[in-house]
Structure 1
Protein backbone atom coordinates (compact mmCIF):
# COMPACT_ATOMS: atom_id res chain seq x y z
CA UNK A 1 0.00 0.00 0.00
CA UNK A 2 2.82 2.40 0.85
CA UNK A 3 4.45 1.71 -2.50
CA UNK A 4 1.23 2.63 -4.26
CA UNK A 5 0.98 5.88 -2.29
CA UNK A 6 4.59 6.66 -3.22
CA UNK A 7 3.90 6.03 -6.90
CA UNK A 8 0.76 8.14 -6.69
CA UNK A 9 2.70 11.00 -5.11
CA UNK A 10 5.36 10.76 -7.81
CA UNK A 11 2.62 10.87 -10.44
CA UNK A 12 1.09 13.94 -8.78
CA UNK A 13 4.47 15.66 -8.84
CA UNK A 14 4.89 14.89 -12.54
CA UNK A 15 1.44 16.32 -13.27
CA UNK A 16 2.22 19.47 -11.27
CA UNK A 17 5.49 19.89 -13.19
CA UNK A 18 3.55 19.81 -16.45
CA UNK A 19 0.99 22.27 -15.07
CA UNK A 20 3.75 24.57 -13.84
CA UNK A 21 5.30 24.75 -17.31
CA UNK A 22 1.97 25.53 -18.99
CA UNK A 23 0.46 27.92 -16.43
CA UNK A 24 1.23 31.57 -15.77
CA UNK A 25 0.34 35.03 -16.95
CA UNK A 26 0.27 33.48 -20.42
CA UNK A 27 -0.96 29.93 -20.99
CA UNK A 28 1.00 27.96 -23.59
CA UNK A 29 0.31 24.90 -25.68
CA UNK A 30 2.23 21.66 -26.03
CA UNK A 31 3.68 22.75 -29.39
CA UNK A 32 5.38 25.70 -27.71
CA UNK A 33 6.58 23.45 -24.89
CA UNK A 34 8.11 20.95 -27.32
CA UNK A 35 9.80 23.76 -29.25
CA UNK A 36 11.15 25.35 -26.06
CA UNK A 37 12.59 22.02 -24.88
CA UNK A 38 14.68 21.90 -28.06
CA UNK A 39 15.90 25.45 -27.50
CA UNK A 40 13.36 27.33 -29.60
CA UNK A 41 12.33 30.87 -28.61
CA UNK A 42 10.53 32.01 -31.74
CA UNK A 43 7.51 33.48 -29.95
CA UNK A 44 6.39 34.71 -26.53
CA UNK A 45 4.96 31.33 -25.55
CA UNK A 46 8.23 29.51 -26.16
CA UNK A 47 10.16 32.21 -24.31
CA UNK A 48 7.76 31.84 -21.36
CA UNK A 49 8.32 28.07 -21.27
CA UNK A 50 12.09 28.60 -21.30
CA UNK A 51 11.73 30.69 -18.13
CA UNK A 52 9.31 28.31 -16.43
CA UNK A 53 11.40 25.15 -16.83
CA UNK A 54 14.23 26.23 -14.45
CA UNK A 55 11.63 27.78 -12.15
CA UNK A 56 9.82 24.44 -11.95
CA UNK A 57 13.08 22.60 -11.32
CA UNK A 58 14.01 24.99 -8.50
CA UNK A 59 10.57 24.61 -6.89
CA UNK A 60 10.95 20.81 -6.96
CA UNK A 61 14.46 20.92 -5.47
CA UNK A 62 13.61 23.51 -2.80
CA UNK A 63 10.35 21.83 -1.83
CA UNK A 64 11.90 18.38 -1.50
CA UNK A 65 14.80 19.83 0.52
CA UNK A 66 12.55 21.68 2.96
CA UNK A 67 10.11 18.80 3.34
CA UNK A 68 12.96 16.38 4.01
CA UNK A 69 14.69 18.79 6.39
CA UNK A 70 11.48 19.28 8.37
CA UNK A 71 10.99 15.53 8.81
CA UNK A 72 14.61 15.11 9.93
CA UNK A 73 14.35 18.01 12.41
CA UNK A 74 11.20 16.57 13.91
CA UNK A 75 12.97 13.24 14.32
CA UNK A 76 16.18 14.68 15.76
CA UNK A 77 14.37 16.84 18.32
CA UNK A 78 11.39 14.48 18.76
CA UNK A 79 9.38 17.66 18.46
CA UNK A 80 6.11 17.74 16.46
CA UNK A 81 6.50 21.53 16.08
CA UNK A 82 9.99 21.40 14.56
CA UNK A 83 10.40 23.23 11.27
CA UNK A 84 13.30 25.18 9.72
CA UNK A 85 11.26 28.37 10.02
CA UNK A 86 9.82 27.86 13.50
CA UNK A 87 13.19 26.82 14.95
CA UNK A 88 14.79 29.94 13.47
CA UNK A 89 17.18 28.06 11.17
CA UNK A 90 15.99 29.79 7.99
CA UNK A 91 16.26 33.23 9.60
CA UNK A 92 19.73 32.40 10.90
CA UNK A 93 20.78 31.51 7.37
CA UNK A 94 19.21 34.74 6.11
CA UNK A 95 21.05 36.86 8.68
CA UNK A 96 24.37 35.28 7.74
CA UNK A 97 23.78 36.01 4.05
CA UNK A 98 22.70 39.60 4.72
CA UNK A 99 25.76 40.24 6.90
CA UNK A 100 27.96 38.73 4.19
CA UNK A 101 26.44 40.98 1.52
CA UNK A 102 26.37 44.18 3.59
CA UNK A 103 29.68 43.91 5.45
CA UNK A 104 31.88 41.63 3.35
CA UNK A 105 30.51 42.36 -0.14
CA UNK A 106 30.04 38.69 -1.03
CA UNK A 107 28.60 38.25 -4.49
CA UNK A 108 29.29 34.71 -5.71
CA UNK A 109 26.77 31.89 -5.44
CA UNK A 110 29.26 29.76 -3.51
CA UNK A 111 29.76 32.52 -0.92
CA UNK A 112 25.98 32.88 -0.49
CA UNK A 113 25.59 29.15 0.03
CA UNK A 114 28.43 28.77 2.52
CA UNK A 115 27.25 31.82 4.48
CA UNK A 116 23.72 30.42 4.65
CA UNK A 117 24.88 26.95 5.74
CA UNK A 118 27.13 28.36 8.47
CA UNK A 119 24.31 30.62 9.68
CA UNK A 120 21.83 27.74 9.68
CA UNK A 121 24.22 25.48 11.60
CA UNK A 122 25.07 28.06 14.25
CA UNK A 123 21.41 28.94 14.74
CA UNK A 124 20.35 25.29 15.05
CA UNK A 125 22.98 24.72 17.74
CA UNK A 126 22.04 27.92 19.57
CA UNK A 127 18.29 27.18 19.60
CA UNK A 128 18.81 23.58 20.73
CA UNK A 129 21.14 24.72 23.52
CA UNK A 130 18.70 27.36 24.77
CA UNK A 131 15.79 24.94 24.51
CA UNK A 132 17.70 22.33 26.53
CA UNK A 133 18.24 24.58 29.55
CA UNK A 134 16.21 24.01 32.70
CA UNK A 135 14.10 21.11 33.86
CA UNK A 136 12.92 18.56 31.33
CA UNK A 137 15.58 19.25 28.69
CA UNK A 138 14.65 20.14 25.13
CA UNK A 139 10.85 19.86 25.25
CA UNK A 140 8.79 20.74 22.16
CA UNK A 141 7.38 23.87 23.80
CA UNK A 142 10.79 25.19 24.91
CA UNK A 143 12.35 24.53 21.51
CA UNK A 144 9.46 26.23 19.71
CA UNK A 145 9.63 29.26 22.02
CA UNK A 146 13.42 29.48 21.68
CA UNK A 147 13.14 29.17 17.90
CA UNK A 148 10.41 31.79 17.54
CA UNK A 149 12.25 34.23 19.83
CA UNK A 150 15.49 33.69 17.91
CA UNK A 151 13.71 34.13 14.59
CA UNK A 152 12.15 37.43 15.70
CA UNK A 153 15.48 38.70 17.04
CA UNK A 154 17.32 37.75 13.85
CA UNK A 155 14.64 39.35 11.69
CA UNK A 156 15.18 42.59 13.61
CA UNK A 157 18.93 42.28 13.11
CA UNK A 158 18.42 41.77 9.39
CA UNK A 159 16.44 45.01 9.22
CA UNK A 160 19.09 46.80 11.28
CA UNK A 161 21.81 45.68 8.87
CA UNK A 162 19.83 46.47 5.72
CA UNK A 163 18.28 49.85 6.63
CA UNK A 164 21.47 51.93 6.27
CA UNK A 165 22.25 50.27 2.92
CA UNK A 166 19.86 51.61 0.30
CA UNK A 167 21.99 50.02 -2.41
CA UNK A 168 21.07 46.48 -1.30
CA UNK A 169 17.80 47.05 0.59
CA UNK A 170 15.46 46.41 -2.34
CA UNK A 171 17.05 43.14 -3.39
CA UNK A 172 17.33 41.83 0.17
CA UNK A 173 13.69 42.59 0.99
CA UNK A 174 12.51 40.84 -2.16
CA UNK A 175 14.72 37.82 -1.42
CA UNK A 176 13.49 37.65 2.20
CA UNK A 177 9.92 36.98 1.07
CA UNK A 178 11.00 33.61 -0.31
CA UNK A 179 10.34 32.63 -3.89
CA UNK A 180 11.44 30.69 -6.96
CA UNK A 181 10.81 33.38 -9.58
CA UNK A 182 13.70 34.39 -11.78
CA UNK A 183 15.35 30.97 -11.54
CA UNK A 184 17.96 30.07 -14.13
CA UNK A 185 20.04 26.96 -14.65
CA UNK A 186 23.14 29.05 -13.90
CA UNK A 187 21.74 29.94 -10.47
CA UNK A 188 20.65 26.39 -9.71
CA UNK A 189 23.87 24.60 -10.69
CA UNK A 190 26.09 25.78 -7.75
CA UNK A 191 23.57 24.61 -5.16
CA UNK A 192 23.10 21.10 -6.55
CA UNK A 193 26.12 19.47 -4.81
CA UNK A 194 25.03 20.82 -1.41
CA UNK A 195 21.45 19.63 -1.90
CA UNK A 196 22.62 16.24 -3.14
CA UNK A 197 24.90 15.68 -0.13
CA UNK A 198 22.22 16.91 2.27
CA UNK A 199 19.58 14.61 0.77
CA UNK A 200 21.87 11.57 0.88
CA UNK A 201 22.78 12.20 4.52
CA UNK A 202 19.13 12.79 5.45
CA UNK A 203 17.81 9.68 3.67
CA UNK A 204 20.56 7.49 5.14
CA UNK A 205 19.58 8.73 8.62
CA UNK A 206 16.24 6.88 8.57
CA UNK A 207 17.41 3.98 10.76
CA UNK A 208 19.02 6.39 13.26
CA UNK A 209 15.85 8.47 13.48
CA UNK A 210 13.76 5.34 14.09
CA UNK A 211 16.09 4.50 16.98
CA UNK A 212 15.92 8.04 18.39
CA UNK A 213 12.12 7.88 18.29
CA UNK A 214 12.29 5.13 20.95
CA UNK A 215 14.02 7.48 23.40
CA UNK A 216 17.68 8.14 24.14
CA UNK A 217 18.08 5.31 26.67
CA UNK A 218 16.44 2.74 24.43
CA UNK A 219 18.44 3.92 21.40
CA UNK A 220 21.69 3.66 23.39
CA UNK A 221 20.66 0.19 24.57
CA UNK A 222 20.25 -0.86 20.93
CA UNK A 223 23.83 0.21 20.25
CA UNK A 224 23.09 3.62 18.75
CA UNK A 225 25.47 6.45 19.55
CA UNK A 226 22.82 9.04 20.31
CA UNK A 227 24.92 12.19 20.05
CA UNK A 228 26.51 11.05 16.77
CA UNK A 229 23.12 10.05 15.35
CA UNK A 230 21.65 13.45 16.17
CA UNK A 231 24.67 15.30 14.83
CA UNK A 232 24.85 13.48 11.49
CA UNK A 233 21.09 13.71 10.91
CA UNK A 234 21.07 17.40 11.81
CA UNK A 235 23.96 18.02 9.41
CA UNK A 236 21.84 16.78 6.52
CA UNK A 237 18.96 19.06 7.51
CA UNK A 238 21.29 22.06 7.94
CA UNK A 239 22.81 21.56 4.48
CA UNK A 240 19.34 21.36 2.94
CA UNK A 241 18.02 24.42 4.79
CA UNK A 242 21.10 26.56 4.21
CA UNK A 243 21.42 25.78 0.51
CA UNK A 244 17.71 26.31 -0.12
CA UNK A 245 17.62 29.60 1.79
CA UNK A 246 20.67 30.87 -0.12
CA UNK A 247 18.97 30.49 -3.48
CA UNK A 248 15.27 31.00 -2.63
CA UNK A 249 15.22 33.04 0.55
CA UNK A 250 13.48 31.84 3.73
CA UNK A 251 10.34 29.81 2.94
CA UNK A 252 8.41 28.98 6.08
CA UNK A 253 6.04 26.26 7.30
CA UNK A 254 6.68 23.77 4.48
CA UNK A 255 8.86 21.62 6.72
CA UNK A 256 6.11 21.58 9.34
CA UNK A 257 3.13 20.80 7.11
CA UNK A 258 4.57 18.08 4.88
CA UNK A 259 5.85 15.55 7.47
CA UNK A 260 2.57 15.71 9.40
CA UNK A 261 0.54 15.04 6.25
CA UNK A 262 2.87 12.21 5.23
CA UNK A 263 2.54 10.56 8.65
CA UNK A 264 -1.17 10.23 7.97
CA UNK A 265 -0.29 8.12 4.92
CA UNK A 266 2.71 6.05 6.04
CA UNK A 267 2.98 6.34 9.81
CA UNK A 268 6.12 7.18 11.78
CA UNK A 269 8.61 4.82 10.09
CA UNK A 270 11.31 7.17 8.79
CA UNK A 271 12.36 4.70 6.09
CA UNK A 272 9.10 5.65 4.39
CA UNK A 273 8.47 9.05 5.91
CA UNK A 274 11.65 10.66 4.53
CA UNK A 275 11.10 9.85 0.83
CA UNK A 276 7.42 10.73 1.18
CA UNK A 277 8.34 14.06 2.77
CA UNK A 278 10.75 14.83 -0.09
CA UNK A 279 8.12 14.15 -2.76
CA UNK A 280 5.38 15.81 -0.71
CA UNK A 281 7.46 18.94 -0.15
CA UNK A 282 8.24 19.23 -3.85
CA UNK A 283 4.56 18.81 -4.73
CA UNK A 284 3.33 21.31 -2.13
CA UNK A 285 5.84 24.03 -3.04
CA UNK A 286 5.15 23.58 -6.73
CA UNK A 287 1.41 23.79 -6.05
CA UNK A 288 1.96 26.97 -4.02
CA UNK A 289 3.97 28.49 -6.87
CA UNK A 290 1.26 27.64 -9.40
CA UNK A 291 -1.45 29.05 -7.10
CA UNK A 292 0.55 32.26 -6.66
CA UNK A 293 0.70 32.72 -10.42
CA UNK A 294 -3.02 32.09 -10.88
CA UNK A 295 -4.38 34.13 -7.94
CA UNK A 296 -2.60 37.37 -8.79
CA UNK A 297 -2.66 37.29 -12.60
CA UNK A 298 -1.07 39.01 -14.49
CA UNK A 299 1.27 39.59 -11.50
CA UNK A 300 2.15 36.81 -9.04
CA UNK A 301 2.51 36.00 -5.34
CA UNK A 302 5.81 34.56 -4.18
CA UNK A 303 5.63 31.08 -2.70
CA UNK A 304 6.76 32.40 0.68
CA UNK A 305 3.51 34.36 0.95
CA UNK A 306 1.34 31.43 -0.15
CA UNK A 307 2.97 28.95 2.25
CA UNK A 308 2.60 31.46 5.10
CA UNK A 309 -1.15 31.77 4.44
CA UNK A 310 -1.50 27.98 4.55
CA UNK A 311 1.11 27.25 7.20
CA UNK A 312 0.11 29.70 9.94
CA UNK A 313 -3.36 28.17 10.49
CA UNK A 314 -1.82 24.68 10.25
CA UNK A 315 0.71 25.58 12.94
CA UNK A 316 -2.08 26.79 15.25
CA UNK A 317 -3.99 23.55 14.61
CA UNK A 318 -0.93 21.42 15.44
CA UNK A 319 -0.31 23.39 18.65
CA UNK A 320 -3.94 22.94 19.74
CA UNK A 321 -4.08 19.27 18.76
CA UNK A 322 -0.66 18.04 19.93
CA UNK A 323 -0.76 17.52 23.68
CA UNK A 324 2.11 15.07 23.66
CA UNK A 325 5.55 16.31 24.72
CA UNK A 326 7.53 14.32 22.15
CA UNK A 327 7.02 12.15 19.09
Structure 2
Protein backbone atom coordinates (compact mmCIF):
# COMPACT_ATOMS: atom_id res chain seq x y z
CA UNK A 1 0.00 0.00 0.00
CA UNK A 2 1.38 3.44 -0.89
CA UNK A 3 1.92 6.22 1.58
CA UNK A 4 -1.05 8.56 1.69
CA UNK A 5 0.85 11.79 2.29
CA UNK A 6 4.43 12.90 2.78
CA UNK A 7 3.53 13.71 6.38
CA UNK A 8 3.83 10.07 7.44
CA UNK A 9 0.33 8.65 7.00
CA UNK A 10 0.42 5.07 5.72
CA UNK A 11 -2.40 2.86 4.46
CA UNK A 12 -2.45 -0.90 4.82
CA UNK A 13 -4.88 -3.83 5.11
CA UNK A 14 -6.43 -4.66 8.48
CA UNK A 15 -4.67 -7.11 10.80
CA UNK A 16 -6.14 -9.11 13.69
CA UNK A 17 -4.26 -6.98 16.21
CA UNK A 18 -6.12 -3.88 14.97
CA UNK A 19 -9.55 -4.86 16.25
CA UNK A 20 -9.60 -3.03 19.58
CA UNK A 21 -8.17 0.14 18.03
CA UNK A 22 -10.75 0.01 15.23
CA UNK A 23 -13.67 -0.57 17.56
CA UNK A 24 -12.54 2.27 19.82
CA UNK A 25 -12.07 4.63 16.85
CA UNK A 26 -15.58 3.83 15.58
CA UNK A 27 -16.96 4.53 19.06
CA UNK A 28 -15.17 7.89 19.28
CA UNK A 29 -16.42 8.84 15.83
CA UNK A 30 -20.02 7.97 16.76
CA UNK A 31 -20.53 5.41 14.01
CA UNK A 32 -21.08 2.39 16.25
CA UNK A 33 -24.71 1.38 16.71
CA UNK A 34 -26.35 -1.01 19.12
CA UNK A 35 -27.65 -3.39 16.46
CA UNK A 36 -24.25 -3.94 14.79
CA UNK A 37 -21.59 -5.87 16.69
CA UNK A 38 -18.12 -4.69 15.52
CA UNK A 39 -16.61 -8.12 16.10
CA UNK A 40 -19.25 -9.80 13.94
CA UNK A 41 -18.93 -7.17 11.24
CA UNK A 42 -15.15 -7.46 11.09
CA UNK A 43 -15.33 -11.24 10.99
CA UNK A 44 -17.85 -11.07 8.13
CA UNK A 45 -15.67 -8.71 6.09
CA UNK A 46 -12.57 -10.83 6.68
CA UNK A 47 -14.31 -14.00 5.51
CA UNK A 48 -15.16 -12.40 2.18
CA UNK A 49 -12.72 -12.40 -0.74
CA UNK A 50 -14.65 -9.41 -2.13
CA UNK A 51 -14.14 -7.11 0.85
CA UNK A 52 -11.27 -5.37 2.58
CA UNK A 53 -10.75 -3.25 5.67
CA UNK A 54 -8.18 -0.53 5.04
CA UNK A 55 -6.60 1.16 8.03
CA UNK A 56 -4.48 4.28 8.21
CA UNK A 57 -1.55 4.67 10.61
CA UNK A 58 0.49 7.61 11.75
CA UNK A 59 3.40 7.10 14.09
CA UNK A 60 2.28 3.54 14.79
CA UNK A 61 -1.22 4.66 15.86
CA UNK A 62 -4.38 3.68 13.98
CA UNK A 63 -6.06 6.97 12.97
CA UNK A 64 -8.45 6.05 10.14
CA UNK A 65 -10.45 3.22 8.59
CA UNK A 66 -12.64 2.48 5.62
CA UNK A 67 -14.33 -0.82 4.83
CA UNK A 68 -14.87 -1.55 1.14
CA UNK A 69 -16.46 -4.45 -0.68
CA UNK A 70 -18.50 -5.30 -3.76
CA UNK A 71 -21.29 -7.60 -4.87
CA UNK A 72 -19.89 -8.16 -8.35
CA UNK A 73 -21.40 -4.99 -9.79
CA UNK A 74 -21.68 -2.30 -7.13
CA UNK A 75 -19.06 -1.33 -4.63
CA UNK A 76 -20.00 -0.36 -1.08
CA UNK A 77 -18.28 1.77 1.54
CA UNK A 78 -18.69 1.33 5.29
CA UNK A 79 -17.09 2.52 8.52
CA UNK A 80 -15.23 5.51 7.15
CA UNK A 81 -13.66 6.95 10.29
CA UNK A 82 -10.92 9.48 11.05
CA UNK A 83 -9.50 10.26 14.48
CA UNK A 84 -11.57 13.29 15.61
CA UNK A 85 -8.49 15.45 16.26
CA UNK A 86 -7.31 14.82 12.68
CA UNK A 87 -10.60 15.46 10.90
CA UNK A 88 -11.01 18.22 8.28
CA UNK A 89 -7.42 17.76 7.11
CA UNK A 90 -8.12 15.70 3.98
CA UNK A 91 -7.55 12.26 5.47
CA UNK A 92 -11.16 11.12 5.01
CA UNK A 93 -11.02 12.17 1.37
CA UNK A 94 -7.85 10.13 0.84
CA UNK A 95 -9.39 7.07 2.50
CA UNK A 96 -12.41 7.26 0.20
CA UNK A 97 -10.16 7.58 -2.85
CA UNK A 98 -8.12 4.59 -1.68
CA UNK A 99 -11.29 2.51 -1.37
CA UNK A 100 -12.40 3.64 -4.85
CA UNK A 101 -9.01 2.59 -6.24
CA UNK A 102 -9.41 -0.82 -4.59
CA UNK A 103 -12.74 -1.25 -6.39
CA UNK A 104 -11.43 0.07 -9.71
CA UNK A 105 -8.58 -2.45 -9.64
CA UNK A 106 -11.21 -5.19 -9.50
CA UNK A 107 -13.24 -3.77 -12.39
CA UNK A 108 -16.18 -2.60 -10.26
CA UNK A 109 -17.91 0.22 -12.21
CA UNK A 110 -19.89 1.92 -9.45
CA UNK A 111 -19.58 2.70 -5.76
CA UNK A 112 -22.31 3.66 -3.33
CA UNK A 113 -23.07 3.90 0.36
CA UNK A 114 -25.89 4.53 2.78
CA UNK A 115 -26.00 7.34 5.34
CA UNK A 116 -28.56 8.17 7.95
CA UNK A 117 -30.99 10.92 6.91
CA UNK A 118 -29.89 13.11 9.82
CA UNK A 119 -26.18 13.01 8.88
CA UNK A 120 -26.20 16.24 6.90
CA UNK A 121 -22.48 16.83 7.43
CA UNK A 122 -21.61 13.36 6.15
CA UNK A 123 -23.82 13.91 3.13
CA UNK A 124 -22.08 17.20 2.31
CA UNK A 125 -18.68 15.49 2.65
CA UNK A 126 -19.54 12.82 0.09
CA UNK A 127 -21.16 15.35 -2.24
CA UNK A 128 -17.90 17.30 -2.20
CA UNK A 129 -16.24 14.13 -3.55
CA UNK A 130 -18.70 13.88 -6.43
CA UNK A 131 -21.25 11.52 -4.88
CA UNK A 132 -24.89 12.22 -5.75
CA UNK A 133 -28.08 11.46 -3.90
CA UNK A 134 -29.88 8.69 -5.79
CA UNK A 135 -33.40 8.32 -4.39
CA UNK A 136 -34.30 4.66 -4.15
CA UNK A 137 -36.64 2.72 -1.91
CA UNK A 138 -34.38 0.36 0.07
CA UNK A 139 -36.03 -2.86 1.19
CA UNK A 140 -34.48 -4.83 4.05
CA UNK A 141 -35.22 -7.64 6.49
CA UNK A 142 -33.23 -8.77 9.51
CA UNK A 143 -32.12 -12.40 9.26
CA UNK A 144 -31.02 -12.61 12.90
CA UNK A 145 -32.10 -11.29 16.26
CA UNK A 146 -30.48 -7.93 16.95
CA UNK A 147 -29.72 -6.26 20.22
CA UNK A 148 -30.93 -2.81 21.16
CA UNK A 149 -33.29 -0.50 19.28
CA UNK A 150 -33.50 -1.00 15.53
CA UNK A 151 -33.22 1.95 13.14
CA UNK A 152 -36.40 3.74 12.13
CA UNK A 153 -36.81 3.70 8.37
CA UNK A 154 -37.78 6.96 6.60
CA UNK A 155 -41.45 7.57 6.00
CA UNK A 156 -42.85 6.91 2.53
CA UNK A 157 -45.48 8.60 0.39
CA UNK A 158 -47.90 7.02 -2.04
CA UNK A 159 -48.17 9.23 -5.11
CA UNK A 160 -50.52 8.98 -8.08
CA UNK A 161 -49.17 10.64 -11.22
CA UNK A 162 -51.56 11.66 -14.03
CA UNK A 163 -50.10 12.16 -17.50
CA UNK A 164 -52.01 14.48 -19.82
CA UNK A 165 -51.63 15.70 -23.39
CA UNK A 166 -53.25 17.76 -26.11
CA UNK A 167 -52.67 17.25 -29.83
CA UNK A 168 -54.02 20.54 -31.18
CA UNK A 169 -54.28 24.11 -29.90
CA UNK A 170 -57.36 24.47 -27.69
CA UNK A 171 -60.17 26.90 -28.37
CA UNK A 172 -60.45 28.85 -25.16
CA UNK A 173 -62.26 31.93 -24.03
CA UNK A 174 -59.89 34.85 -23.63
CA UNK A 175 -58.50 35.11 -20.12
CA UNK A 176 -56.90 38.15 -18.54
CA UNK A 177 -54.87 38.78 -15.39
CA UNK A 178 -56.53 40.82 -12.63
CA UNK A 179 -57.10 44.35 -13.97
CA UNK A 180 -55.76 46.00 -10.80
CA UNK A 181 -52.36 44.27 -10.98
CA UNK A 182 -49.26 45.15 -12.97
CA UNK A 183 -48.28 41.84 -14.54
CA UNK A 184 -45.44 40.88 -16.89
CA UNK A 185 -44.42 37.55 -18.40
CA UNK A 186 -40.79 37.40 -19.53
CA UNK A 187 -38.57 34.67 -20.85
CA UNK A 188 -35.45 34.12 -18.75
CA UNK A 189 -32.67 33.69 -21.28
CA UNK A 190 -30.34 31.01 -19.90
CA UNK A 191 -31.23 31.67 -16.26
CA UNK A 192 -28.47 31.36 -13.71
CA UNK A 193 -28.45 28.33 -11.46
CA UNK A 194 -29.06 30.47 -8.40
CA UNK A 195 -32.09 32.19 -9.95
CA UNK A 196 -33.54 28.95 -11.29
CA UNK A 197 -33.12 27.16 -7.98
CA UNK A 198 -34.80 30.11 -6.26
CA UNK A 199 -37.81 29.82 -8.60
CA UNK A 200 -37.98 26.04 -8.27
CA UNK A 201 -37.77 26.08 -4.47
CA UNK A 202 -40.10 29.03 -3.97
CA UNK A 203 -42.82 27.52 -6.17
CA UNK A 204 -42.33 23.86 -5.41
CA UNK A 205 -41.43 23.48 -1.74
CA UNK A 206 -45.10 23.60 -0.69
CA UNK A 207 -45.93 20.82 -3.19
CA UNK A 208 -42.95 18.56 -2.47
CA UNK A 209 -40.99 19.28 -5.64
CA UNK A 210 -37.68 17.58 -4.98
CA UNK A 211 -36.19 16.10 -8.17
CA UNK A 212 -34.36 19.23 -9.33
CA UNK A 213 -33.08 19.88 -5.80
CA UNK A 214 -30.82 16.84 -6.02
CA UNK A 215 -29.54 17.47 -9.54
CA UNK A 216 -25.84 18.36 -9.51
CA UNK A 217 -25.10 21.92 -10.60
CA UNK A 218 -23.32 20.74 -13.75
CA UNK A 219 -26.29 18.62 -14.87
CA UNK A 220 -28.84 21.33 -14.21
CA UNK A 221 -26.68 24.02 -15.84
CA UNK A 222 -26.35 21.92 -18.99
CA UNK A 223 -30.13 21.47 -19.08
CA UNK A 224 -30.75 25.21 -18.73
CA UNK A 225 -28.22 25.99 -21.47
CA UNK A 226 -30.02 23.72 -23.94
CA UNK A 227 -31.65 25.87 -26.63
CA UNK A 228 -34.65 23.53 -26.64
CA UNK A 229 -35.49 24.45 -23.03
CA UNK A 230 -37.33 27.71 -22.32
CA UNK A 231 -38.07 29.22 -18.90
CA UNK A 232 -40.69 31.96 -18.51
CA UNK A 233 -41.09 33.98 -15.33
CA UNK A 234 -44.26 35.73 -14.17
CA UNK A 235 -43.79 39.07 -12.41
CA UNK A 236 -46.53 40.78 -10.40
CA UNK A 237 -45.88 44.32 -9.23
CA UNK A 238 -42.23 43.77 -10.11
CA UNK A 239 -41.83 40.60 -8.01
CA UNK A 240 -41.27 37.05 -9.30
CA UNK A 241 -44.59 35.27 -8.78
CA UNK A 242 -44.24 32.00 -10.66
CA UNK A 243 -42.70 30.31 -13.67
CA UNK A 244 -43.24 27.71 -16.33
CA UNK A 245 -40.85 25.68 -18.39
CA UNK A 246 -41.13 24.29 -21.93
CA UNK A 247 -38.94 21.27 -22.65
CA UNK A 248 -38.57 20.60 -26.37
CA UNK A 249 -35.84 17.96 -26.25
CA UNK A 250 -38.26 15.23 -27.35
CA UNK A 251 -38.66 15.48 -31.13
CA UNK A 252 -42.17 14.04 -30.87
CA UNK A 253 -43.59 16.89 -28.81
CA UNK A 254 -43.20 19.65 -26.25
CA UNK A 255 -43.53 19.15 -22.52
CA UNK A 256 -44.79 21.70 -20.02
CA UNK A 257 -42.15 20.51 -17.60
CA UNK A 258 -42.77 22.92 -14.74
CA UNK A 259 -45.67 25.23 -13.99
CA UNK A 260 -46.63 26.97 -10.78
CA UNK A 261 -47.18 30.07 -8.70
CA UNK A 262 -45.41 31.00 -5.50
CA UNK A 263 -47.68 30.37 -2.49
CA UNK A 264 -48.33 34.05 -1.76
CA UNK A 265 -49.75 34.54 -5.28
CA UNK A 266 -52.08 31.53 -5.26
CA UNK A 267 -55.76 32.42 -5.06
CA UNK A 268 -55.36 35.88 -6.63
CA UNK A 269 -57.00 35.13 -9.97
CA UNK A 270 -53.72 34.50 -11.79
CA UNK A 271 -53.69 30.73 -12.29
CA UNK A 272 -56.10 30.27 -15.21
CA UNK A 273 -54.63 33.17 -17.22
CA UNK A 274 -51.07 32.10 -16.46
CA UNK A 275 -51.70 28.51 -17.60
CA UNK A 276 -53.43 29.70 -20.77
CA UNK A 277 -50.42 31.90 -21.47
CA UNK A 278 -48.16 28.87 -21.06
CA UNK A 279 -50.29 26.79 -23.43
CA UNK A 280 -50.45 29.57 -26.04
CA UNK A 281 -46.68 30.08 -25.84
CA UNK A 282 -46.15 26.34 -26.30
CA UNK A 283 -48.37 26.08 -29.37
CA UNK A 284 -46.54 28.98 -31.01
CA UNK A 285 -43.70 26.43 -31.40
CA UNK A 286 -46.07 24.18 -33.43
CA UNK A 287 -45.28 20.93 -31.59
CA UNK A 288 -46.82 17.64 -32.62
CA UNK A 289 -48.35 17.44 -29.16
CA UNK A 290 -48.12 19.17 -25.79
CA UNK A 291 -47.76 17.09 -22.62
CA UNK A 292 -47.82 17.72 -18.89
CA UNK A 293 -48.11 15.64 -15.74
CA UNK A 294 -49.34 16.32 -12.25
CA UNK A 295 -49.55 14.24 -9.10
CA UNK A 296 -51.45 13.99 -5.86
CA UNK A 297 -48.76 16.02 -4.09
CA UNK A 298 -49.55 19.06 -6.26
CA UNK A 299 -52.25 21.65 -5.54
CA UNK A 300 -55.64 19.85 -5.52
CA UNK A 301 -56.91 22.17 -8.26
CA UNK A 302 -53.97 21.42 -10.59
CA UNK A 303 -55.54 18.47 -12.42
CA UNK A 304 -58.94 20.15 -13.02
CA UNK A 305 -57.16 23.30 -14.23
CA UNK A 306 -55.08 21.37 -16.75
CA UNK A 307 -58.24 19.72 -18.06
CA UNK A 308 -60.02 23.08 -18.20
CA UNK A 309 -57.46 24.49 -20.62
CA UNK A 310 -57.62 21.47 -22.95
CA UNK A 311 -55.36 18.71 -21.62
CA UNK A 312 -56.76 15.18 -21.56
CA UNK A 313 -55.51 12.41 -19.22
CA UNK A 314 -53.84 9.54 -21.07
CA UNK A 315 -52.60 7.37 -18.21
CA UNK A 316 -52.00 7.19 -14.46
CA UNK A 317 -49.52 5.40 -12.27
CA UNK A 318 -49.26 5.03 -8.53
CA UNK A 319 -45.88 4.65 -6.88
CA UNK A 320 -44.36 4.75 -3.42
CA UNK A 321 -41.46 7.11 -2.77
CA UNK A 322 -39.37 7.90 0.26
CA UNK A 323 -40.68 11.15 1.75
CA UNK A 324 -38.11 13.80 0.69
CA UNK A 325 -38.74 15.61 3.98
CA UNK A 326 -37.78 12.49 5.92
CA UNK A 327 -34.35 12.27 4.30
CA UNK A 328 -33.45 15.94 4.34
CA UNK A 329 -34.07 16.87 0.67
CA UNK A 330 -36.88 19.20 1.77
CA UNK A 331 -37.26 20.91 5.14
CA UNK A 332 -39.85 19.40 7.47
CA UNK A 333 -43.23 21.07 7.51
CA UNK A 334 -43.68 23.54 10.39
TM range, normalised to the smaller chain? under 0.3
Greater helix proportion: 1
Structure whose CA Rg is larger:
2
Greater strand proportion: 2
Question: Structure 1 length normalisation: TM-score?
Answer: 0.19
